[in-house]
Amino acid sequence: MNRMKVDFDEILERKGSNCIKYDAVKQFLGSDDLIPMWVADMDFRTPSIILETLRERLNHEVLGYPVRQEGFFSSIMDWELNHHNWKVERDWIMFSPGVVPAVNMAVLAFTEPGDSIIVQTPVYFPFFTAVKDHGRKLVHNPLELKDGRLCMDFEDMEAKAAAGAKMIIISSPHNPGGSVWTREELQKMADICLKYNVLMISDEIHCDLVYDPYKHIPLASLSESISALTITTLAPSKTFNLSGLSTSSVIISDPVLRKKFSTVLDHLHIGGGNIFGNLASEAAYTHGYEWSRELMAYLSKNLDFMQEFLDSKLPSIKMIRPEATFLVWLDCKELGLNDRDLTDFFMHKAKLGLNPGIMFGPGGEGFMRLNIACPKEVLKQALEQLHAAVQQL
């Protein structure tokens, strides 16, 4: 019998642990009388091998400035080669305290104020501020919903690239919607970017959260010329629930681009990192694979459960079944509510804390994003609350 070794069913009390999802829910969503299913972290315990690694380091009892150990680098190289068939070299790996800071640094390093940068809406909203807050021009290349999947619009992309865009920022796999970009899609995008010299920022933070039978393909693994025009961001934070350790990496194969990026990193003086993040990242990438497979099996069951619940009891809400990520993009248009009323409905009637689709930009109207990285009982309770609220509409 194929038994799970990790108990993902256990309901852990997160309130009072200084986490945004539970402890700042009132501050951000205006109410705490709800089930929080918003911030993209998980209600599961971080893998025990990582916790043991951190405990062991604490025994040393001196927490001075760290230096990244060789295992930090080699574990990333091994992970990418073994699980994503991408050969990364040691020198290509740079540190960032987060993927969002990395995207912001890339904007600062490789573009000038007034430059156009393409984003594919609806998309993870910090991409918008990374562009606009540095005085760059945000150019939308909206994704198209085709047969229940968000797809790239290459014609529109080419028009925007031809009009002079300097950079495109993609989420690969995509948040929200969970599309795992295929080799063909990535190749088509890269062909356009190579033709017009558009630098590609490939945010691959969700790359290890892919459901069977889909397969993540690192953009930079497609060819040397594509790699030379790509900045990849990676992190163990989503896969292993380590977001509080602020540790991610940036992979740049081109030495000129790497130098430019490292100059910004050095100027901001944020390349140091922290001892716990450095060690946790190595432990995760070295020992975490089996745990991550158990996680995916559990999330996949949550998805199945949710799909069946919606199909049988709540057909007015349609789920865009994600190919990756624990974030479910819910099409709520049939409820007939405008976006303000939809947000109010979820919060005050269903008593669920979700992200309103409009946060993710154009294309998010009528959608809500729900985080299923919780024990099944919690998801069941949430869906029952939603069902009861829809009955009252």
Ligand X SMILES: Cc1ncc(COP(=O)(O)O)c(C=O)c1O
Distance CA 377, CA 22 (A): 17
Report if residue 278 touches ligand X, rule: CB under 6 A: no
CB-based contact 98:246 (threshold 8 Å): yes
Of 76, 108, 115, nearest in space to 95 by CA: 76
Least distance from ligand X to the Cβ atom of residue 175, Å: 4
Positions in 132-151 near ligand X (CB under 6 A): none
Distance CA 196, CA 96 (A): 28
Query: One-letter amino acid identity for 278?
Result: N
Residue (100 or 352) nearer to ligand X, CB = 100
Q: Write out the two tokens for 152.
A: 């790239």
Least distance from ligand X to the Cβ atom of residue 247, Å: 8
Least distance from ligand X to the Cβ atom of residue 280, Å: 13
Per-residue contact flags (x/-) with ligand X for residues 221 to 250, judged by CB under 6 A: --------------x-x-----x----x--
Q: Which residue is nearest to ligand X (CB)?
A: 98
The answer to whether the bond into 176 is cis (omega within 30° of 0) is yes
The answer to whether the bond into 375 is cis (omega within 30° of 0) is no
Among 25, 34, 35, 40, the residue binding ligand X under the rule CB under 6 A is 40
Residue (129 or 182) nearer to ligand X, CB = 129
CB-based contact 8:241 (threshold 8 Å): no
Query: One-letter amino acid identity for 91?
Result: D
Distance CA 78, CA 290 (A): 15
Per-residue contact flags (x/-) with ligand X for residues 81 to 110, judged by CB under 6 A: -----------------xxx----------
Among 111, 121, 141, 175, the residue binding ligand X under the rule CB under 6 A is 175
Phi first, then psi, for residue 190 (nearest 5°) are -65, -35
Report if residue 53 touches ligand X, rule: CB under 6 A: no
Report if residue 203 touches ligand X, rule: CB under 6 A: yes
Contacts to ligand X by CB under 6 A: 40, 98-100, 124, 171, 175, 203, 205, 235, 237, 243, 248
